[in-house]
Amino acid sequence: MSLHSTRRGPPRGARPWLASLALCAAATVHGADSVPYRVELATTGDAALDTTLAASSELESLRQSAPVSPFGLIARARGDGARFKTVLESFGYYQSTVSVQIDGRALSDLDLPQALAELPRGREAKIQARFTLGPLYRLGKIEVSGDLPPQASAALGLATGDPAVASAVLAAGRRLEDHLQAEGYAFARVDPPVAYEDATQPLLDLSFHAVTGAKVPIGSVAIVGLKRVREDVARRSLRLRTGQPFSPAAVENARRDLLALGPFGAVSVRLGERVDDTGGVPVTFRVRERPRHAVSLNAAYSSDLGGSGGVTWTDRTVFGGAGQLSVAASVLNYGGNASTAVGYDDSVKLLLPDFLAHDQSLQVAVGAIKQSLQAYDQTARSAGLTLTRKLSNVWSASAGASITDEQIRQAAVDSGGNTPSPGGTTSAQPQYAVRNYTLLAAPLSVSYDSTNLGSPLDDPTHGMRDSLSVAPTRALGHPNSTFIVSQLKLADYLDVGRWFDQPGRTVLASRLLAGRAEGAGELSLPPDQRFYGGGSGTIRGFRYQSVGPVFVSPPAPASLAGLPIGGTAIVAASLELRQRILGNWGAAAFVDAGEVSASLRPLPSTLRIGAGAGVRYYTPIGPVRLDVAVPTRRFGPNQDNFEIYIGLGQAF
């Protein structure tokens, strides 16, 4: 952007006040006469300005990686002086001065190279940069020329008296251009602004020039790069049609729809520079298909559930379309203190996107699970269908049907809490009953997700993840029962870091879980349909399934004392502070609280609270998590002193 004087005074000369701050690194210099040095940048009192000055410094960025000779160090310092001046002007300080010295000497000192060459071994040269800001320039008159629609210039968002910050002015021009394109002017262009400096006071007048062109619709729509995915399958996912009004938002939504289809690893979009034969703007989507087959491994450990690990094989383009077939096999509960034997969890899932309608998918799943827990032993086989409908960018709903055939072994209790013997009398020794159930369920759910993340393993830094599910269920077994299990899950992520110009580095995460089973009593519910508390999913610091009703001795045998029974209601809440520290490392501190009972109103005497801290290592596929949690109070002899949790992804 050029800078000229106004007619109110003589020109002061052009200043590159909107120059880019992305500066190229100097060539690396190696040699026996390299000079070690350290850098001290004086503070300006403005944290954002200090951060930008430090980021622009080659003295800082190349200090460790690029040894430099005495003459090279002086040249590097001179270059930084020019860069610092550019930064100061981009923040509105056009009468600022920069002073860079090496060991107290000016860079123009003719004896400085020799002094640097004669530095004693092990001594670093001290480079100091000092800044005199001068007055802060502000915006004066703001003009927009060109054939603009009424009120369009208001999209600039600038006002007389605002600080003359380069990034804000450039962003204003982009806002105006985006606004014009959103109004259907596909070829609208806003030129870089011209600034005129006032000769009598620290003001800059701005002049923008915009070219709108004519309103045009969407032209031809092309998809290139397809290999295995059929074009008709890809086009079904698009809501962009030739002839509809042009909108950058509609084009971007179409790009996201293609990416969400599943088989594509990347989708880019290119708009034509002129109208095509249809009289509209041609749009070309270029897709890059992911490998057809993928194998992924997973592993986790917690002191209560022990170690688990598994493998998943996926075919991303089943039947030449976008259907995805996944086969997963996992080993569960190796060595945990809340489990009694190793189990497994196997499944086969087929996902069909855009099933019968756009933004609607069908999942067909079959599975088998075996787990041996202190609460019960379970062996089950299941099959189900789930139809999911995307209602908007943040809302979705699903409905399904499932059947589960299971065998459960759990301690048998009568109404008095005793374990009955085969002869019908009560016994002091534990008796276990093996019962078979067939569960017929019709689950319904609605979900809200404003985190804008593609995977549940990604680290959420803002937004909410909420869901409400209702599962009417008919249980055929001993005894038969009909009940409804309802669950409400709320998770909120507050980006505290953005208040300090460090978005995403400090996040306050909160979680609320409430659930209720109605229509059947505690002991008439199948054991796996009851609620249990404890573990990483509810209350950390307490052993998995240890929170809630338990056997009490007497009247139950002493060998059962403390073992979980399960309840008909759960309420739990968590608060967690997540802080990025250095590079890919981070830390967390948290507190969880909750209870399982026959109501959603836990009493202070039954509320369980756990607290802890952990470390995070952030990877491209999600953060690796290590948490250690302790109960704030011990409840019963089976309560552990602490629990450890290791896994991929945040706790919630």
pLDDT tier at 412 (50, 70, 90 boundaries)? low
- 3-state DSSP call for residue 151? coil
In the predicted structure, residue 19 carries a pLDDT above the cut 70 = no
In the predicted structure, residue 2 carries a pLDDT above the cut 50 = no
d(CA 494, CA 505): 11
In the predicted structure, residue 424 carries a pLDDT above the cut 80 = no
> Residue 245 carries which DSSP code?
B
Give the model's pLDDT for residue 501. Answer: 79
Give the model's pLDDT for residue 523. Answer: 82
Note if the bond before 120 is cis, omega within 30 degrees.
Answer: no
- 3-state DSSP call for residue 492? strand
Give the model's pLDDT for residue 70. Answer: 94
Which stretch of 136-140, 375-379, 589-593, 634-638 has the lowest confidence by average pLDDT? 634-638
Question: Tens digit of pLDDT for each residue in 284-332?
Answer: 999 999 999 999 999 999 999 999 999 999 999 887 778 999 999 999 9
Give the model's pLDDT for residue 482. Answer: 94
In the predicted structure, residue 23 carries a pLDDT above the cut 70 = no
- Average pLDDT value over all residues in the chain: 88
Residue 199: count other Cβ atoms within 10 Å of its Cβ. Answer: 14
Q: Which of 111, 122, 30, 24 is nearest to 69 (CA)?
A: 30
> Residue 550 carries which DSSP code?
B
Give the model's pLDDT for residue 638. Answer: 66
Quick one: 246 exposed, middle or buried, by C-beta within 10 A (0-12, 13-18, 19+)?
buried
Torsion over CA: 529, 533, 536, 538 (sign):
positive
Q: Which are the contacts of 166, defined by CB distance < 8 A and separation ≥ 6?
A: 17, 18, 89, 90, 91, 92
Report the share of the chain in percent with pLDDT over 90: 71
pLDDT tier at 605 (50, 70, 90 boundaries)? confident
d(CA 310, CA 327): 11
In the predicted structure, residue 428 carries a pLDDT above the cut 80 = no
Average pLDDT over residues 522-527: 87
d(CA 474, CA 363): 22
d(CA 592, CA 574): 4
Which helix H or strand E contains 177, and what residues bound it?
helix 166-182
Give the model's pLDDT for residue 557. Answer: 67
Per-residue DSSP letters for 33-93? T---EEEEEPP-S-HHHHHHHHHH-HHHHTTTTS---HHHHHHHHHHHHHHHHHHHHHTT-
> Residue 167 carries which DSSP code?
H
Question: Tens digit of pLDDT for each residue in 122-140?
Answer: 899 999 999 999 999 999 9
Range(s) within the chain of domains with CATH label 2.40.160.50: 293-648
**Exposure class string for 107-129: b at 16+ Cβ within 10 A, else e:** beeeebbeebeebeeeeebebeb
What top-level class would CATH report for the domain 31-132? alpha beta
CATH topology of domain 218-289: Ubiquitin-like (UB roll) (3.10.20)
Give the model's pLDDT for residue 11. Answer: 37
Range(s) within the chain of domains with CATH label 3.10.20.310: 218-289
- Any idea of the CA torsion for 536, 539, 544, 548, to the nearest 10 degrees? -160
**Exposure class string for 593-623: b at 16+ Cβ within 10 A, else e:** bbbbbeeeebeeeebbebbbebebeeeeebb
Torsion over CA: 449, 452, 454, 460 (sign):
negative
Q: Which of 48, 90, 81 is nearest to 195 (CA)?
A: 90
More confident residue, 159 or 11: 159
Residue with tokens 């096999």: 329
Question: Tens digit of pLDDT for each residue in 145-199?
Answer: 988 888 888 999 999 999 999 999 999 999 999 999 999 999 999 999 999 988 8
Give the model's pLDDT for residue 430. Answer: 53
Right CATH for 293-648 from 2.40.160.50, 3.40.50.2300, 3.40.50.970, 3.30.1380.20: 2.40.160.50
